[in-house]
Amino acid sequence: MPENIPVCPECGHPLPEGMTGLCPSCREWKDSAPLPPQKNVHAAVVLSFFFPGFGQVYNGQYRKGLLVLVATIFGLFFFLVPGIVILGAGVYDAYRTAQRQNAGAVPFREMHLYHVLLYIIIFILVCFGAMSVSSVFMMP
C-alpha cells in the first residue's frame, strides 16, 4: 500500500483521501478518515545502533529486539566480527521494518512501556553478565 493512506478507525480498512460516507468494509458512516500512525525510520536506526535491539522494540517487535540484544552483546564480547555483523543486521532490520510499517506492508505495532522497561532490565543484566563471564576468561 502507498504511504499515508487514511484508514477506517473501526475496522482499519484503507479509505480514499477525504472520504465522506459509508466505509466499504464495516459500513460505518465516516466524515473523514484519520491518517494511520507512522514510525520514525531515523529513530529506529539510531536506537538500534546505540542500543542493539531497541529499534525492534520501538517497532513493536520486543521478542526480536531481545534476541538481537543478547546475540549482539555476546557476539561483541566473545567474537568481535560476528557481533558487528549482528549489530548491522539489527540496524537494517529496524530500518526496513519501520519503512514497511509506514507503507502498510506489515501491521503497525505500538511500542509499550512495559516492553521498554523489560528491554532496559535485560540490557543491564546481559551487559553485566557478559562482562563478568569475559572477566573470568581474562584472568591470568
Kindly state whether residues 87 and 121 are assigned to the same domain. yes
Kindly state whether residues 77 and 131 are assigned to the same domain. yes
Kindly state whether residues 66 and 110 are assigned to the same domain. yes
14 secondary structure, DSSP code: B
Kindly state whether residues 52 and 121 are assigned to the same domain. yes
Kindly state whether residues 94 and 119 are assigned to the same domain. yes
Average pLDDT, the chain: 82
As beta bridge partners, residue 29 has 22
What does the pLDDT read at residue 1?
Answer: 45
The closest alpha carbon to 44, from 58, 31, 30, belongs to: 58
Number of domains in the chain: 2
pTM: 0.69
Kindly state whether residues 47 and 31 are assigned to the same domain. no
Model confidence over 10-39: pLDDT tens digits? Answer: 677 776 665 555 566 665 655 555 567 889
Q: Which domain covers residue 7, as residue numbers? A: 1-36
Q: 104 or 69: which carries more pLDDT confidence?
A: 69
Q: What is the full DSSP assignment across 72-118? A: HHHHHHH-HHHHHHHHHHHHHHHHHHHHHHHHTSS------HHHHHH
What does the pLDDT read at residue 35?
Answer: 61
